[in-house]
Amino acid sequence: MGPNEELLRAYARLAVRKGVNLRSGQVLVLNAPVEARDFVSYLVEEAYLAGARYVLVNYGDDRVTRLRYLLAADEALDYFPRWMGEGYAQMAREGAAFLSIYAPDPDLLADIPASRVARGDKARREAFRNYYAYTMSDRARWSLISIPTPAWARKVFPGLSEGEAVEALWDAVLRISRVRPGDPLENWDRHRRNLERRVAYLNEKRYRKLHFRGEGTDLVVGLPEGHIWHGGGATDHEGIPFQPNIPTEEVYTMPHRLEVEGYVRNTKPLNVHGTLVDGFTLWFEGGRVVRFTAERGEETLRHLLDTDEGARHLGEVALVPVDSPVAQSGLLFYNTLYDENASCHLALGQAYPTTLQGGPDLSEDELLARGANRSLIHEDFMIGSPSLDVDGILPDGTREPLLRGGLWAFEV
């Protein structure tokens, strides 16, 4: 058995009212796996109750995705319908909101050559480039949630039957997403205020660099002049708040694309297009990954880094304590939306223009000149652990502790 109808409706209400913060007369674009069709009906109902003008539901099927990568000719993987990406960009221009259910099968493409998966994914990202420009700069409200699917649940709880695994994963998802206990909307208002206090502290400090030290990690990340810390949610260009990620535990900002030195080792597996990458270390010089090793999924990592020049540079740095609700669950989710909120993390690829003063109004060339990274990808990987220490380095070289043993080292 899964959660009762009351909890499902509460989760749908949270996604619509706090996630995308849908307004009366607004169009909602809803992306979901076919396994989520029952929950989608709650989302659609809640959207129309909120005054939606129209709800467009786009379903995806992992089996169809797998068949394409398994059977299509190599050159066919370079094709992706441009009209789909342009359609999304047009809806973003017209003020639509975008809500997606992310529930990947971590092993979906594990036996497919990494080169084929990378080829198809690059074509898709290129088709959606203009749409991503809206979401990455918060000019369109968007939100990402997850619900359990059998394949995902079996990966997280391999010792349980499928039904028991799905039920256990639902329990974790609803607790970590603050759907229960209590009122989800009030829970999120309180949570947002807590994270915003951390953000205010970090923005007041104006650190020049961050230094990460832990097992297998010694990395200095430069921060550009005018960087902005975010956390607890986002605000669109009209000043309307929304929650891009449910759950979220991070405070994050923009690293300088050319000012990263040292090495870093992951602490949780990374799911890249249905293939797990784990036990990897990246070495940076002048902001660029110049060397890497991986115990699992090395070819997949190689193709990810070779997507474009920006894929070897960082676009995000995020701080998350190891006592977050996701971390306290003790679970490995094989889902970046969840695992990144259990751990400090970095992202290879595209930077968020909103994490730089005036960023959304700058051209791509102006953003590059200020230190922002540009890429087709934005791939988070987890580096936090109970052994991780993080220092903030002020412009005069003074060091201040931000995390010690993976926990916050300052009060707000």
Share of the chain above pLDDT 70, in %: 100
Mean pLDDT rounded to a whole number for the chain: 97
Digit-coded pLDDT (tens) for 341-389 = 999 999 999 999 999 999 999 999 999 999 999 999 999 999 999 999 9
Q: What is the pLDDT of residues 186-225, one digit of tens each?
A: 999 999 999 999 999 999 999 999 999 999 999 999 999 9
Q: Which helix (H) or strand (E) holds 175?
A: helix 162-176
Grouping H, G, I as helix, E, B as strand and the rest as coil, residue 379 is strand
Measured CA to CA, the distance from residue 211 to residue 391 in angstroms comes to: 5
Model-wide pTM > 0.75: yes
Q: Quote the CA–CA distance of 62 and 273 in Å, as a whole number.
A: 11
User: For residues 379 and 250, is the Cβ–Cβ distance under 8 A?
Assistant: no
Half-sphere exposure in the Cβ direction for 344 (13 Å, CA)? 29
Task: Judge whether residue 260 has pLDDT over 80.
Answer: yes
With bands split at pLDDT 50, 70 and 90, how would you rate the model's confidence at 24? Answer: very high
- What band does 273 get if pLDDT is binned at 50, 70 and 90? confident
Residue 136 CA to residue 375 CA, distance in Å, equals 12
* Rg (the chain; Cα; Å): 20
pLDDT tens-place string over residues 115-147? 999 999 999 999 999 999 999 999 999 999 999
Q: Reply yes or no on whether the pLDDT at 274 is more than 90.
A: no
Between CA 12 and CA 21 the distance in angstroms is 12
Q: How far apart are CA 312 and CA 18, in angstroms?
A: 34
Three-class SS of residue 84? helix
Order of all β-strands in the sheet with 97-101: 54-60, 27-33, 97-101, 142-145
240's tokens? 């309307």
Burial tier of 67 (Cβ tally within 10 Å: 0-12, 13-18, 19+): exposed
Could you give all domains of the chain from N- to C-terminal order, each with its CATH number? 5-176 (3.40.1830.10), 204-408 (no CATH)
Q: Could you report the per-residue pLDDT of 71-106, keeping only the tens digit for each?
A: 999 999 999 999 999 999 999 999 999 999 999 899
- pLDDT for 1 beyond 70: no
